[in-house]
Amino acid sequence: MNKAQSLEQFCEKYHLNFKNNDLIETALTHSSFVNEHRHKDLEDNERLEFLGDAVLELSMSEFLYKTFSHYSEGEMTKIRAQHVCEAALVEYAQSIQLGDYLRLGKGEEISGGRKRPALLADAFEALLGAIYLDIGYEAVYRFLSDVVFPFIRNGNFINVIDYKSRLQELVQTDNRSIRYEIVSEMGPAHNKTFKSEVYIENDIKLGSGEGHSKKEAEQNAAKVALEKMVYDIEKE
């Protein structure tokens, strides 16, 4: 079975009737593949990932609102954060063997890119972005109903601490806002390390952290900030 046939079967399985097949191929294209095929007119999946992130959050919010009518805003916010973080996205991607369909550069392939959490999470969001653009929001919601929402209905909550959400909750009690900034990228394209810094309003730096994806770096920065805030409280 060649890759084209297997991708076609993937779309059939999840009722994804793409009119523009270039979109789904772009969703599964890592930057390392584009870098090794510069003579071709290719685009990596980073822009679709950006769109898919927003589509996922909206879809998840709608599902939680309709499904858990007795839950408060705070409870739904915590559940949503738990199920749209990188660890959760990796679970979803693995459940549909999304790594098998990725287009990777040779270096990324050799280094185990098909199983790399950051790549899987990004590709899953990019896939949602492609579905939204080509087929529409209802198709995204149907796809998530097959792949993602059962995790929540069955009580299979992802056991991971969302430090960003915890930090946000803590800061909001004082009506303050926070922002994250990626300040550096190090290493080759197939194995980058990102450094993120988190600031409270008035540009007061709370902490910094590193990771192999921007999301992971932001989570680690939030973790450092939380640990520092707890330490400062204990000193008082």
> Would the pTM count as exceeding 0.75?
no
Burial class for 15, CB neighbours closer than 10 Å (0-12, 13-18, 19+): exposed
pLDDT at 33 over 60: yes
Number of domains in the chain: 2
Sign, CA torsion 26/32/37/38: positive
The whole-number pLDDT of residue 177 equals: 81
Tell me if 206 is assigned to some domain.
yes
* DSSP structure class, residue 42: -
**Same domain for 111 and 62:** yes
Q: How many helices (H) and strands (E) does the chain have?
A: 12, 3
Catalytic residue selected from 53, 91, 122, 134: 53
Catalytic residue selected from 86, 108, 125, 216: 125
**Same domain for 179 and 134:** no
CA distances from 224 to 7, 78, 117, 176, 206 (A): 41, 20, 21, 18, 8
In sequence order, the 6+-apart residues with CB closer than 8 A to the CB of 169 are none
Residue with tokens 């004082």: 174
The CATH number of the domain holding residue 183 is 3.30.160.20
Chain segment 51-92, per-residue pLDDT in tens: 999 999 999 999 999 998 888 888 888 888 888 888 889 999
**What band does 118 get if pLDDT is binned at 50, 70 and 90?**
confident
53 is catalytic: yes
Sign, CA torsion 10/141/33/40: positive
Structural domain including 99 reads 3-153
**Same domain for 210 and 125:** no
Rounded CA separation 182/198 (Å): 9
162 is catalytic: no
The whole-number pLDDT of residue 1 equals: 39
Tell me if 158 is assigned to some domain.
no
**Same domain for 171 and 72:** no
**Same domain for 229 and 134:** no
**Same domain for 138 and 45:** yes
**Same domain for 218 and 127:** no
